[in-house]
Structure 1
Amino acid sequence: MTRPPHTDTSEQTSAASEEIAASSVELVRLGMHLHGLVSAFKV
């Protein structure tokens, strides 16, 4: 498992960006869910 350092860093960066994208999607879903709950309680 010997690789050049630049390959590892690029893979780590892409993995980190994927995690950030996934977490942001979860935050959007959570925000929409909370907004729906607030709207339901207001009505």
Structure 2
Amino acid sequence: MAQRRTAWTRLTTPFATIPASTATTLALAMWVVVIGGWALLSYG
């Protein structure tokens, strides 16, 4: 019996493979946003 996919799974599953360079770039960009937000909120 097939399991029903959750909304989270449907939203976060890519339709095609994501190149490693793109995934790495997006991961680094997210870390910059997280660290930048933390620094802004912590130090004004």
Q: State the TM-score, normalizing by the size of structure 2.
A: 0.60
Q: State the TM-score, normalizing by the size of structure 1.
A: 0.61
Identity, in percent, stands at 17
Q: CA RMSD in A?
A: 0.9
| Matched positions, count | 29
Which has more radius of gyration?
A: 1
5+ residue gaps, structure 2? 1-13
Q: What pairs with 1:1-43 in structure 2 (closer than 5 Å)? A: 1=14, 2-29=17-44
5+ residue gaps, structure 1? 30-43
Instruction: Detail structure 1 runs of 4+ shifted over 2 Å in the superposition.
Output: none
